[in-house]
Every structure is written in structure tokens, then in C-alpha cells.
Structure 1
Amino acid sequence: MSLLAFKNMIIDDPFKIMDSWNETIHFCDWPGVSCGRRHPRVTVLNLTSLKLRGSLSPSIGNLSFLYVLKLQNNSFSGCCNLVSVVLSYNMMVGKIPAELGTLLKVKQLSLVSNYFTGGIPPSFGNLSLLDTFSASKNNLLGKIPDELCQLLNLKYFLVNENNLSGTLPPCLFNLSSIVAIDVGTNHLEGKLPPLLGITLPNLEFLSIYKNNVTGNIPVTLSNATNLQSLIAGRNGLTGKVPPLGNLLKMRRFLVAFNYLGKGEEDDLSFLTTLVNATSLELLELNTNNFGGLLPASVSNLSTELIELSLSYNQISGEIPRGIANLKKLQAFFVAYNRFNGEIPSEIGDLIYLQELALLGNHFFGQIPISLGNLASLTKLSLRENNLQGRIPSSLGKCHNLELLDLGSNNLSGFIPSEILELSSLSEDVDLSQNQLTGFLPMEIGKLRNQGYLNLSDNKLQGQIPTSIGGIPGFLKDFKFLQILNLSSNSLEGAVPTGGIFSNATVVSIIGNRNLCGGVPELDLPACVVEVKKERKSGFPLKIVIPVVSGLIGLTFIVCFLGIQQFSRSRKPTPTYIPENSTLRVSYQCLLRETDRFSASNLLGMRAFGSVYKGISEHDGTFFAVKVLDLSHHAASRSFLAECEVLKNIRHRNLVKVLSACSGIDYEGNEFKAIVYEYMDKGSLHDWLHFTPQEKSESQEEHKKLGFIQRLNIAIDVACALDYLHNDCQPPIIHRDLKPSNILLDENMTAHVGDFGLARFVPPAIPNSSANSKSSTGVGGTIGYTPPELGMGSDASIYGDVYSFGILLLEMFTGRKPTDEMFKDNLNLHN
């Protein structure tokens, strides 16, 4: 119907091509029309150089599978009434056609997230009705044309993330209709006009982020009373920030990484004028030249404030105790300033706080016990201050803590075992350069996810119990430990030779005079074992000692296992995760790192949500994040199931979970997400069922999987299932094994992912066949799920094996179990 409607708009067809477009021939065989191999849907319409004349029918928009449209060298018309051109989020290349400037009725022109090069055509200045021009995230070059200043109806001018250069056109700031300007992440120069707030009375959004803009923030900015966001970080702005008292709608004021302030007492006086901005959420002033005291009025800022960042300035004095009024604060950064006094205990009232950075100041006194109330805290850094006293054991209540840095203070006493029992600690634990005493605690063996451990330059001393060796032998089994520093203490005994201790370049144990053994590169003396003389009667000591030691060791092991079993019976592992217990990364952080969950970062859709690609602000690495669609009644249950399963497993052929988020978004809605390592090569489904028509020529050529590659992937998946079924206690059933849930890394190694439907096998029947009726409903995907589940049987490990069999057949036949060819009792297995 769409093609026939297209034909009806043709008024001249000299080669009679359209004569064949009739119902006597299948439309896939019509001249110029191509269809996909798997579905009879139009994918290509190529009518090049046929001298066709007529109007371009809007019905072409109904060809939803169309990916190639070639109509060049014809005489089509009819676009003169076009009012909206939206070509965003495609793979378009080349220069933006200047001819678009002839579409005089266009009001919206959107070219976001393509690969356009060249400059912005000056001809766009002819589009007198244009109110929206958005060309963000391309490769545009050159200057912003002055001709655009003729667009008196322009409201939205968005060209961020390009390579534009030259000076900001001053005339652009004279368009009183402007609502939003975003020129961030370019190479633009110049200054903000002094009358900006007067000439742009409707301005709501202004971003000049990451350019070379210099000069002052205009005093008239406060006249732009509708302004909600000023994003001006990473420029060369100077001078003092003017009063902002009229900006009652301000939500984001971000001016980090500039040269604002003069190191004077009243540099931060403008904060007092912001107290009436009751919707303020983000305030980033870090890395500037602000001096003076932090005004007490900061306690009266918006109760909606999420982030307050003041790091790397010259701010002095104490932190106002009224800071506790900022009830929703999630991030508080004041690192490397000149703050002094005691750390306010009131900070412990900020129950949503996730990151607290007070390092590099002159704080003294004790670490407040109240910090243990911060159940959502993921990062705590208090290093390089003058803190004294003991490390409060209450920090052991911060069950989401990933980074703990208390180094370079004057802390004393023992290392609290409660802290070392935090399995969440996965980034840094730095307690170095203090006055800590006592033995190296046995609880340190529970930090198995640790990446950096530094206990150097303390007074840890004494005879370490033989039950944990010299240096604890279990440290060599820390798979994720990359740097270990135990230097300048009084440790003694044998140094292990395995694990991290096999690499002397990442282990520092200097300054411990009574250590021995280890790898030769550590240059330690050999351990001497003292052997007593044999007795004349009875068994020789060299026989008795090992036997007795073995019996003692065996008794210890049996007792230990018995205690463990008794503990398990007394305290069964909970399967329910309380609210916020998995909160390890903030919604705000994920929002930034995925570009506000933009469509250009969308990797795919899942049953209970969407998966996006993100890039870490910390180290620039990529990650994948699954955002749960909580309108689906089973999404929360899926989130809990996946978190519960993933925290208990780790295998080279399973997708690694990096973090999780459970909180509230900016609109007050519940938000849940899981962060995974990013897989460069996508899913197995994409490789098995790839067709060349599905990618543009500009993308990297996609190669077919060879037989050996398929075999290796099958082995990887088998290893993952073997681990889940036979090495986990209790065993785990995946329940949704299929190609789209198998992801490939850069080495084409397969990783099984998406554990949203996974279940633990009941302990009493770990290998039971599924005969009983299910109370959990049918899980999985049609075609891969065992037929008995549809009849009410419980899920079992055999169901995963069935799905694996279907997967193998699909991998080596190239046919999905739901292929259209499977009908009339024909199926993939047959």
C-alpha cells in the first residue's frame, strides 16, 4: 500500500518502471525494490536516474524496515511545505547540505548524533521561521555563521560536542527569543556579553562547557530570571561571581575548572544570594580561586541540593554545622582547601550521602562516630588532615563503602575488625602514615574484592599468630588486589610466594626487619626452621612433629567447618536485599556518564528495562548499565534476584557486575540499575543473525563466525553453566539462556549475562528433575524454555541444559528456534 501510494504521486515515468508495480507481481520483485532475507519487508528502494517526476509521497515513512533510499537524478518535488526535519541518531556522513536553507517553512532542524563534517551552512540564516536548530554530537568544524543572528524566532541553538572554533557571535546573544544555548565541548573563544541577562530575558539553559571562553560572568546574569542551568565549567572565566538573587528557578550552577574568585574574604558571598533558589540541585565551584570563609548561609541553600563541590580552592574556616539541613545531599566535596576545626558530627545526619571528600585540609579532633549512620556512603576520604584518636568501629555499618582513605593523619589504636569485614570495599583501603598499633587483623582476609591496600608507615607489630602465617597467606589469594603496601611496620614471619606476592613490583614490605622468605626479588633472608634433636627412644621428632601438627590442623579444620555449618544453620543467608543496600553508584553519576541515558548510548532492550553504554568519569573506561523499567510488575523482583545471584558468583565466563544503584531520580521516581563490564563485541545473537544490510558502509565490517569460533563460544557457555550448576553452593539456575544473553569481549570470549530470572536451587533437591508444580511462574524465552515449564513444573538445572542444547543447534545451523520455517510439527530439534 505504501509503494502504491508512492506510485500514485509519480506524474511522469518515461521508462515505464512503475508499470510493473501492480498486484500481479509480489512487491519484493518490483523494479527498484529489495526485501530482507528473513522477512518480506522492504529494506531498499533504489530508483536512481530514472527521470521520474512528481511529488515525494509521505507514505514512504511507513516503510519501517527501510534502510537504503536512493532517489538521486530524478525530478521529485513537494518538500517546500516541510516544517520539521529530524534526522537525529543515525549514521549520516558528509557535509550538511546548504540546500536545506531553501526550506523556508522549516521550524525544526535536528541533526543530533550523526557523523556530519564541514561547517554550519550560512544559508540557514534564511530560515526565518526556524525555532530549533540542534546539531550536537557531530564533527562540525569552523565558525558559527553570523547569518544565524537573522533568525529572530530561534529558541533552541544546540551545537555541543563538535569541533567548532572561532569567537562566540555576540549577535547570537541579542536574539530575545532564545530559550536554550548549548555550545559546550567545542573550541570557541571570546567573552560572555555584559548585557547577556538583559538581552536574553527568556533564557533557561546556557552551556559553554569546555571551551576557551574568558572574562567575567556578566553582572546582568541575574536579570535572566528564567535561567535554570548555567554550565560554564572548564573555561578561562575570571573575577568574582556576581550576586544571583533573582535566579529563583536555578537548578544547576556549574562553574568548576575556571579561575573565578580572587582568594579574598568575600569571594563566596554570592552563595547567600542563592538561598532563594529553592530548586537548586547541583552546585559545582571546585578548582577555582575562591577564598575566604564558607558562609553559614550555605546551610540555607535548597533542600533539593544533591551535590556541593568546593574542592581545590582556598576556602578556610570551619564547615557550618547547619550543613545537616541539606537533607538530600549525596556528594559533598571540599578537598584541598584550608578548612580547619573539627569535622561536624552533624554530617552523620545526611543519610543520602554517598561520597564525602574532606582530604587535604587542616581538620583536627576525632572522626565523628556519627559517620556510621551514612548507610549509603560509597566513598570516604579524610586523608592528609590532623585527625587523632581511634578509627570508629561504627564505620563498619557503612555496608556500601567501596573506598576508605584515612591515610596521613595521626590516628592511633587498633584497626577495627568491623571495617575489615566490609565485603563492599573494592577500590582503595588506605590507612597509611598514621600511628596504628596491634597485629595485622585476621579479618583482613575478608577483603577479597580489594584492589589497593596500604597499611604502611604505622606501628603494626608483635608476633603474628602462626594460624595465619607471617604475613597472612590468604593475601596471595586476593584475585583483584593490584597494589599491596605493608612497609615500615614491625611485621615478622614468612612472606608468601603466590598470588600478588609473586610480583615484587606491586608489593612493598620494606622496613619490616623480621620478615623472611618470599620471591628472590624481595631480597629477604631465607626462613630458618629450628629442628630439635631426635630422642633416643620412641618415634623420631621429624616424624612426630608433622603427624601431631597434621592432627591438630585436621582438628582445627573440622572444628572450623563445624562452626561454619552451625553458623549457617543459625543465620541463613538472606535472599532479600533491603532498600539501598546495593546502592554503590549514584543516579546522578550514571546520568552524567551515559549522557542522560541518551538514545545514542542505547545498546538494547531487555524484558525488564533498557541497557545503555557509559564511560566512567574516573578512568575513562566503558561500562554497560541496565536501567530497570519499574512500571513492569516483575522488574523489582528481577533486580533483587540479579543482585542476590551476582554477589555470590564470579567466573571468567560470566558477565562481571561492577556496581548497582537503587535510589530516586530527579523527578522523585524510584530508580534501579545494575552496572556491568562492557563487552566490545556485543551479543552472540548479533553475530549469529547478522545481515550486511543492517549496517552502513561507514561502520567496521562485521565478519561471520567461523566453526572454531562457534565451538570455542559453546565451550565458554558450557563452562559457565558447569560453574553455576556444580561449583556454586547452592547451585544456580539461569532460566533464560539464549544468544542475546551471551556477550562477547574483545577476544571473542563468551560471557553469560542477564541473571534477572535466575534462581537458587532448593538445597534439598539440587539435582532433582522437575516434577512438582511451580509457584514462581514460567521464566525464560519462547523457543528456549523447556516445554515442561509450560505445564507447571519447577525450574531445574536440566532446564538450562535444554536451553543450552537449543543454543548449540542455533549456533551450528544458523536458525532461531522461532524461525518462520518451523511449523506443521517441524522444529529446530527435528
Structure 2
Amino acid sequence: MNRLEGNIPQNLFHPNLEVFFIHFNKFGGQVPLISNATKLINFEIGNNHFTGKVPDFPSLPHLRSIGLNRNNLGHQKNGDLNFMSSVVNCTNLELFGIEDNNFGGTLPECMCNFSTKLSYVTMGRNQIKGRIPTRIENLVNLQLLGIETNQLVGPIPGSIGKLQKLFGLNFHNNKLSGAIPSSLGNLTSLGELILKSNNLQGRIPSSLGKCKYLVALTLSQNNLTGPIPKEVISLSSLSRFLDLSRNYFTGSIPNEVGKLSNLGYLDISENRLSGKIPNTLGSCESMEYLNLQGNLLQENIPQSFYFLKGIQEIDLSRNNLSGEIPKYLEGEVPTQGVFTNTSAFSAVGNTRLCGGRPQLNLPKCPSSLNKKAKLSTKHKLIVSVVCGLVAIILLALFSVLLSRARKRNAKSTLGSPFGISFLEVSYGDLLKATDGFSSANLIGAGSFGSVYKGILNQEKTLDVAVKVLNLQTSRALKSFIAECKVLKNIKHRNLLKLLTACSSIDFQGNDFKALVYEFMVNASLDEWLHPRQGLNSEEERHLNLIQRINIAIDVANALDYLHRHCHEPIVHSDLKPSNILLDGDMTARVGDFGLARFLMDPSHLFSSHQSSSIGIRGSIGYIAPEYVMGGEISRDGDVYSYGILLLEMFTGKRPTDEMFKDDFNLHNFVKMSLPEKLAHVVDSSLLIGTDQVEEGAATTSDVGDREIDHIEEISINNFQNVPNCRLILNTNLGKCLHSVLKIGISCSKLTSTERMNMGDVVKELLHVKTAYMAAQTENRGDQ
């Protein structure tokens, strides 16, 4: 990651050389010959200007990664991939990346003879032809297979269904044909399936419904037919996107679509779907983008759309819809675009519309309309409804704020060096938004900068959190760059959303860099777990049991997404309560990616070793033991931090508490106390009326303000007099707390290989929550 250029001298490859990383420079010429480096482990020359033919690799028994990506290798003709036959001799190879080059020729069958340890294969964006080899099933440890944007033909081999560890499969933008094999349903670890822009035919196999960890699925721009299987459209794991657009699907949209409660993006446009829009769509609370245009949908817009609280855009155009636009969607008719021609659309029957061209004879919009709209709904919508067959109504409605915003965005976005397009925000805008970075608006400070609350007046008024980088700190700039690089690649309901970034100069001519986020009204988890001293009773904050479990699940979902379901796995590296923010609904959002790293990013692409020698990564108390010893950056490090966080959430004790010294830490404190001394370690607020205080299963919410004469108020002191604390252990509350703490202990084990993965953590916590809620319901029924 420098600006080094020129050719690579051949005498660099010493017999003792193990690691060769020169990616992200300007080296050119031929790929150097690896002659004597028989101990080589990593060979990564990506993101340079190498050209021509790739020489054969010698027998390298220790080689684990080959990264040739993002160069100008190959000549787009046969023979470009001949070097792959020599890679067969690298019997410990785990990572092979050649994407973004000029490789042509046929995909060689010899890749099926690569090391059985091979985990990642990325060959996208070349000119590779031929068929996907059926013997690809030999690569039994394959986790990511990407051969997108090439010229592959023929069917997808059913043998891929035997790759049980596969979590990412990307064949988009090829010329593949035939049916989607039903064997893909056997890939129960699959997180992302991208097959768009091919010539696939037939129906979507209902067996895909068995892929319970799928977060992203796109089959758009194919020739698929038949109904949409309810097994697929009800996959509650889908959170990033479901794109089935531009096919030939028929029938109605299944009511099971309402189970997509975590999905952010749904596109079923340009098909032949008919019938009513299901009311169940209103259950998709996380939906931000919904596109149903270009179908044969009929009747009214469901009133349940009112409950789509996160929606940003809805497109219902070119259907056969009729009736009125629901009142909660109505407002000002724009005067631009299609709305300049009053004969091209009709507003008849929509009595709550206002504004528009004078010829419409609509009432003038009151000046308070925009303000009222902001207060009454979070919806920001583009609704275009067309009654096609009888041409009764061609009606479209835009929110005036969004129409102006989009117009301005088209003119005033700026290209970021990190590949993000942001609405331009100046130093002056942020200065004004934060009242001159007033100390009264200071809501937090960290090692790399300070965070201020602000009110940003752009296309609309936004409450924001502005993180101003302290550029005098040596690593602040790297933190800024890292956070931008990470946040441009990820999107999840449990990750803090970056609204924009500012890289400018202040009024004194000094460099100025800031990140602007959504403002989280309920602040950080740290402030709820450890309230500041001196707060009055009305300001005191307490989290009940279910709130803590929900937050734990939210954070686990976020980490599972980062670790397993991003295109490039990401390690957060600084998980702690102050980096977990809570929105108005107490949904947790993981933030602060200043120390995050891609496990496969350009700065260390395809590296199986990620040294932390640059300094211990993370915050004291949450740092994985292997990092302290100079170990590798890994998902396991995040799991350790999560385990400590989980223990802190349910014990109320910081890992840096003065009671923890030498080898006695929060992990050991909890582990030594379970199960008999459970009540000695859990947060006392969980035992005194905020949740279950059962003999029987009564809760304060059950009895309201009635006098409780048969339940003694529980405290830590009470339990110290109870033999073995069996009272709490035999309650639903005790069983729940015991289970959660065991998960925390498992995640924070000293040895990284013994820790749980975040996917299993999510499953276990959901099981604990479900069991607890079911037991509560049953007990209330008995009473």
C-alpha cells in the first residue's frame, strides 16, 4: 500500500522467504518467477500493473495463498490459464484469487484437483469461457466461490450441492443455462447466492427454503418461470436483499412474504405476477426498498403499508391497481418530470392531495404540510400507481422532500476515494449543525476524536451524530479511512448507518475530517449498563431481561453478518458497550469501525495470517488473549470480545473492575460461580422486580400495582442465605440467566479454537429467548 513501481528483481526469492506481500502498489512487467522460495506461505501481488502470462508455480508444499487479483494479466485468449495446472502441486493451498484481470480461455478441469484445503476461489471479471466442472465437488472445504462476470455456459452442476461448507456462491453475469439445481438446498451454511444475469430456466427449487442462513439472494434477469415458492419467500434469515426481478414468474405473491421481517431490499418487478398485494407485507418492518412495478397486480394498495416504518422507496408502477392512495401516503403533487403534463396522469378521487400544476385544481398545500408529515410518519415514499388495462388512472405521488433531495443529489454528490457517493457536506455545515462544536453538544470522546450531536439542515432536517477526527493523533487518519472502506461495503439493520463523510479544511486552513451518522436517541449500551452517578430517579436507566437478550441477539446478528455474510469477511476488532448504540425502539446498532479489517481486503488480500504487530487491537478488558501475544486478527477475536460483553451485560460488572487482577477476570468470576452461585454474579436489578421474581412465575408486570404479599422481594442479600441458591436456579429466570452466561463463557474461552461462532450464538440465544417466553406464557396460563 505504497507507490512503489518498476519490475520485481528475481533474486528476492530467498530459500527462507515465507511471506511476499506487495499488493496495492504500482509494480509492473511480468509476474516474477518463484524459484528457490520453497518455504513460501503467502504470495500476493494484487492491485498492481502486472501484465502478460503467469509463469508456472513450482512445488510449494507450504503455500496457502495466491493473490493475483486486480492486475492486467492475460491476453483474453486460450492458454492464459495454463499456469493453473501447476497450482495442483501446492497441496496446502487455501486461497486462490485471480479476479479483475484479462484472463481468457476455458475454465480448466484441473482446478478440481486443487488442494482439498482450498476455502476461497475468486475468478470474477475476466473473459473465462467454458463450463463449470462437475468434479468441483472435490473441493470439500470450499467456502467462497466467485466466477462472476465471465462467459461461462452450460448448466450449474448439481454436484455443487455437496460443498457443505459453502457460504458464498456468485455466478452472476455469465451465460449459464438450464435449471437451478435443487441440490443447492443442501448448502445449509449458504449465506449469499448470486445468480442474476444468466439464461437460467425453469422454476425456483423450493429446496432453497432449507438454506436457513441465507441473507442475500438474487436470481434477477433470467428466464425463470412458475410461481414464487413460499418456502423461499418466507426465509426469515434474508436481511440484505431478495431480488427476483426481470423473470417470468406467475401467480400471486405468497402471503408468507410477511415473514421477511429482517429484509431491507425486495425487488419482484418486471414479472407476470397477479392478484392482490398481500397485506402481510406490512410485517416487513426493516424494509427500506420495495419494487413491485411491471406486473399484473390488482385492487388496492394495502393499508398495512402504514407499518413499513423503515421504508424509503416504494414503486408500484405499471400494474392494474385501482382505488385511492391510502391517506397516510398522500401529500403534495410535484410539478416536475411526468407531472408537467397534466393529461398524462390523474389525481381523481384522492381528496388529500394538494399542490401540483394549476390545471389540476387541487388545493394549495398548507405551509405546515412538510412539518406535519415529518411528525406523523417516518415514511419517505415514491409511489407510482398505474391502472393499465382500462387506463383509468395513471397516478404517481412523490414526497416533495424526497423529490427535491433526489434532484439535489444528482447535482451535488461527490466521489469519495473509498467508492462512496455522499451528499456534499462542508465544514461550515457541520459547524452550524453542532453550534460550533459546542461542549453542550458533546456526547462522547474516544482515542481518535470527539462525537457531537447536531441538527443538519439539508433536504430535510436530520438529527445526526458527528464524529470529528483528532488528526493530531497518529492513527486517526487510518481510522477514518478504515471506517469509510468498511461502511461502504456493508448494510444491516444492526449496524450503525453512515450518512455522509466530510474531508475538507476548517476556517483556519487546517485539515478537517468527520463522519456523520444517524443519531441514536437512546445513546450507548454502556450508559444503560453503567449509569452515571448523580442522576435523579427519573433519569436512571435500567434494562430488563428481555431487553438485554434482544440487544445481545442484535449484536450477535451484526457480527454474524460481518463474519460470514459480507462479500469480504470483516473483523470489527473493538467491540464494547460504548460502541453499541440503541435507537428509539431499543434496537442495537454496532458502530465505530475505525479498527475494523477485511479478512480479504486489498491491504492483505487472501492472507491467512493477519498479524497484529502494529499494536494491540481493541480496548482493555475486551481484547482477545491471542492479540496480546501478537497473534493473528481473526473472527475469533471478535467472538472473545462478544463473550466478555455478554457477561458484562448480565452481571453488570465491567471487565476492568478493580476486583479483577492477575489471572482472575470476568470470565473466571462467572465460570467459578455457576451454577450454584448464580445469584451472586448476575446483575441485582434483574432479581428485584424488573423481571421474573417467581415462586410460581409472577412478575411485576403480571401483578401491576397490586400488593404482593406472597412474593418476597429478592435481592443478592436474600440469596446469600439460601442453600446453593436453588430458588433462583429452579425458576424460569434462573434457567434463562444460566443459559445466557454459559454462552458468554463459551465465547470468551482462552483458546480461540474452543469458542463458538457467531452463527451458533444467534441460534442459541434465540432458543433461550423462545424457551423463556414460552415458559412465561405457560405459567401465566396456569395462574
Tell me the TM-score normalized by structure 2.
0.50
Tell me the TM-score normalized by structure 1.
0.47
Larger radius of gyration: 1
